[in-house]
Structure formats: structure tokens, C-alpha cells
Chains A and B, each alone.
Chain A
Amino acid sequence: MNSVRIEDAVKRFGSTRALDGVSLEASEGITGLLGPNGAGKTTLLKVLATVMSLDSGSIEIFGRDPSRHRHRLDIRRRLGYMPQEPGFHRSFTAFEFIDYVAILKEMTDRKARHAEVDRVIALTGLEKVAHKKIKALSGGMRRRVALSQALLGDPRLLILDEPTAGLDPEQRLRFREVMSRLGEERSILLSTHQTEDVAALCPRVIVMNHGKMLFEGTPKDLREVARGSVWFSEARAPEARLSWRTGEGVHRNIGTAPPGANLVDPSVEDGYLLLLGDEAFIEAAWRRSRQCAGRPWFTGRYR
């Protein structure tokens, strides 16, 4: 049985359609949501986490209708949710905060609750900072605290909104390890800007933009979108829709390849960029330029 089923979901904010006729089904395994800012990923995840209702369309989670009180409660008992911008009671320690959320998850027995808090702390590798105040933790550590609270109670459905944002490479690898283990026996829906995470983790990927689903398939399928459209050249190819100089000094081009072009195997990011076009490219380039300490390394029409 599908854990999640949404049909023709519409959510408006004023004149903006954050969700514009989205339909999807998800069962066990990890589904990655990709899309630029404002694509509708967060709205979709909020709806699935039962914290936002739809204007029209239907939704079922574990065969339950979240608009009905009893059903919503049943869903929430099997749900773990990490919002995009999780808030913290900063005077709490990491342990106290996770313990607080455990109480919100109806764990009232102190011993059992503390054992569960210890379990998720160990799962996310927070043992050394468990008794530090949250206000003293780094952004990456706080993200892990937010992830820990989502894992409380071993939920059957995990909804994670940009869980890898702000994590350093080592933390991201640990996150992937934890997720791949958890994804074997439950449904995980996660949104991300990192195509590497999707390629490494998600058997299924959905690309969204302007509230619509543009693509649904495997990471391999997404790579195939760019098959025959990615090539290397010494200089920026005029035919290229998107072009940037790589660390090796050659230009990686995406677009309609000229005859005899040095075609290369496309990546998930190539497929994503080609699918979304200019908008995604600008965002990816901006993000990377920030990682390069303000020295944009990409070339092309947006420089």
C-alpha cells in the first residue's frame, strides 16, 4: 500500500499557486524533491506533514484523510517532520529540546522517553554535544538536532525539508548513511538543492517548479534527460545554453551539442539544469559562487 497519495493538489497564497495540480504517490523508500526556491517543495511537505491544508484536491496518508481529526491524529502518530527552518528553545540543551519534542509525541514515561532520546542522539552522532545549550551549537549541529527530533518514535513516514542544508561534507556522509538505513523500511520524502544527495540517496526523484511536477523517475532517468546534450570544449561553446569552466580548465557545456562534440556522460545535475533551464542554472551558480568565497568560477551569459 502507498504511504502517501496526493491527487490534483492545489494550494494558493494570494494570487500565487504554490501547488498547481500536483499528483504523486509514494511508498517505502526515499523520494527526493528537487526544485529552485519557490518551486512548491516546502508547501508540499507542509501539506504532507499535516501542518497545512489544501485548497482543493485530495490527500491520503496511510489511507487516512488528514482533514479529519481522528485520521490526522493517527497520521501524526506515525510521522516524523523536520521543517525547513526548525525553531529551537535556545535555553534548552540538545537533550532537553529532543526530550521536549518527545513529550509532544506523547511519550510521557520518563525512563522510556529518555532511552528513546538517547537512541536518536546516538543515531545522529550528537552524543558529545547532547548536554550543550542549543544556542552554543553550530548551524550544522542544530540541523542534526532537528533531524534527531524527527526520528523520535521510529516514524513510518519521515518528511525532511532540506535536511542537508548547512551540513559539512562529513556530516552529509553520515546523514546519507543514516537515511539509507532508515529508508529500507519506511517512506522518506526529502527536499534538497543538492543534486549529489539525490544521486547518492534517492531511488526516486521528483523535480518541481512553479508549483508543478516537471519530472518523476529515477536519478538515472534524470541523467538521461541530458544524454547527448553535455560536452566538453576548450572554449565556451556558442551553441551552449549553459556553459562553465571546470576545475580542469575545460568548459562543460549543456545544450544542443554541435556535430562531433566531445560528449560526456551527464550527471543528475545536468539533467536537472536542462530540465529547469536558466532559472535553476542561476540559482546553482549563485550557490556555488558563495561556496567559492565570492569568486564566481562559472562563465557564460550570466557572468
Chain B
Amino acid sequence: MSWHVEPEMLEAYAHTAIDDAHAYSIEAHLVSCGECRAQIATLGDQKELETLWTEINGAITVPTPGIIERGLLRLGVKDHVARLLAATPSLSVSWLGGLILALGFAVTAAHLSSRGFLMFVVLAPLLPLAGVAVAYGPRVDPTYEIGLAAPLSSFHLLLVRASAVLTTSGGLAFVASLALPQKDWAMVTWLIPSLGLTLASLALTSVISPLRAATGLAFVWVSGSALALYYAANTAATAEDLFGGIVQLVMVLVTVASVALLFGRRGSFERGVRH
């Protein structure tokens, strides 16, 4: 170390009587200069200095968070919420990559045939449904048991994670739908079913395991869609005909009923969900 902080500056720093720019410069120097650290240890209020050191130590030892957490922090998400979300399996880089790939295939299929477009409408609601199923619960969250014994509300954790999954899956599906060949309202017919199925799975999680709830609902949705496609095979039925009017209305009702059931049974999440 070829230079040291001048004694007057060090004294001023020790008594926090210094502007931020100089303080930052001194702190940067103190990290690597044992002589100045020894000097400052003799100055100022020891308690105050300990607080300062805690802050410096915290700043230099806390590692850089992962890519998802960094992204969330940049979006303005609070640091503790970002960490809770970073531990969500369906918000991992690999999961999001898989999601983009699936949507890419669906959009390509939509460009190849009119049936391909219908496949997109069937597939899109399944993505947030699957994401929410693996976002919370004893089989998918390795720290589930520790979390259950902690005071943070499990229902709150579930909602935070489900909202984030629904937003990312829905957001990606919406972006993908902009690339669809159809440019009318039919390109978002998947939106309300997505909401309905995801909320229904959350509500059912208060009664059965998250994976069973999601699997059952996915089966009902795919079977119903397959039947509709089968009976419409020889007709000129469009996406609006198959997934419009009645399906949208039913899904709105499912959404409302699910929200009511979910909040009505929120206490059950604090006792633990089924395996």
C-alpha cells in the first residue's frame, strides 16, 4: 500500500463528519489497508465504528444473487420477496427455457395449420397450471417442512409464488400469441381459462395435493378440448366457436368460485397441504 488516509480525514470519517464521496473512497481503501484500519480503531466511538464495520463487511461479503433474483431486483421487487421467488422451482432458468420452447413449438404449429392454432389455445392454460403445481408443496419444495414451522404465512407464500408464476407464464404466452397468424380476439381465448384453471388448482390444493389437483384439472381441460375438437372435426368451427362464449363464461364462474373457496379455506394451508 503506497498511500494512507490523512489523519484529519480519518478522524472526520470516524466521527461521521464527512461527505459521502470521501466516505466511500475511505471505505474502499480501508478494505485493503490494515494500517489505516488499525489507525481508525483508536478513533471515534467504538459502537459507532462497529456498526460501520458491520455495514462494510455486509457489503463486501454478501455474494451476487442468481440471475432470476437479479432480474427481479432490477424490476423493483423487494429483496426479501425476490429471494422467496428465487427459491420457486417454476421460476428457474431451466423451467422458463422449457416454457419458451413449448410456446415456440405451439406458435410454429399454429402457422402450419388451423388445428395448430387450436392446439395453442389448449396448451397455453396448461403452462401456468403446471408452473403453480410445482411452485409450492411438500413434494416440490425442499424446504417445505422448515417453511411450515416458520411464522411466515404459508398461504401468503403460496399466493406470492402463484402470482409470479401466473405473471411469467401468462406474459410469455401473451408475447407468443402476438406471433400467431390470427390477429383477432381469438388469440387471447386462452387467457380466462388460464386464470380459471390455475385458481381452481390453488383452491383444490386446500383439499388434495397440489400435483393431484393440477393433474386432474389438466386431464379435464385436455379431455374436454379433445372432445370438442373431435366433434368439430368435420365442421368449419373456429377457435371462437370452440373456446368462445360458453367456455369463457364457465371459466369466469370457475375463477370466481375458486377465489371464494381459496380464501374460505386459507387456514388449511397453515396446517400443511397434502402430500
A residues in contact (CB < 8 Å) with B: 46, 49-53, 69, 72-73, 76-77, 79, 81, 83, 86-93, 95-96, 99-101, 103-108, 110-111, 113-115, 118, 130-131, 149
Contacts and interface: CB of A to CB of B under 8 A. Distances in A.
B151 A83 contact: no
A163 B29 CA distance: 42
Given A87-B142, A87-B146, A111-B54, 10 more contacts: A73-B270, A76-B149, A79-B149, A87-B144, A91-B66, A91-B92, A100-B84, A100-B143, A101-B146, A104-B84
B79 interface: yes
Contacts of A101: 143, 146-147, 150
Interface of B: 54-55, 57-58, 61-63, 65-66, 78-80, 83-84, 86-87, 92, 141-152, 157, 267, 270-272
Nearest to A93: B63
Closest 9 CB pairs of A and B: A87-B142, A104-B150, A81-B149, A76-B151, A103-B80, A104-B152, A49-B149, A51-B148, A77-B151
> Is the contact region of chain B dominated by helix, strand, or loop, or is it mixed?
helix
Contact of B55 (A73, A107, A111, A113): A111
Contact of B63 (A51, A79, A131): A131
B252 to A, nearest CB: 31
A300 B146 CA distance: 42
Nearest to B271: A53
Given A100-B143, A104-B146, A89 B87 contact: yes
Given A100-B87, A111-B55, A87 B145 contact: yes
A106 B267 contact: no
10 contacts: A73-B151, A83-B145, A86-B143, A86-B146, A88-B143, A89-B143, A100-B143, A103-B80, A104-B157, A111-B58
Given A51-B272, A72-B270, A95-B63, A83 B146 contact: yes
A135 to B, nearest CB: 12
Contacts of A87: 141-146
A114 B62 contact: yes
B229 to A, nearest CB: 40
A108 B80 contact: yes
Nearest to A88: B142
- Greatest chain B CB density within 10 A among A73, A87, A115 is at A87
B63 A105 contact: no
Contacts of B151: 73, 76-77, 104-106
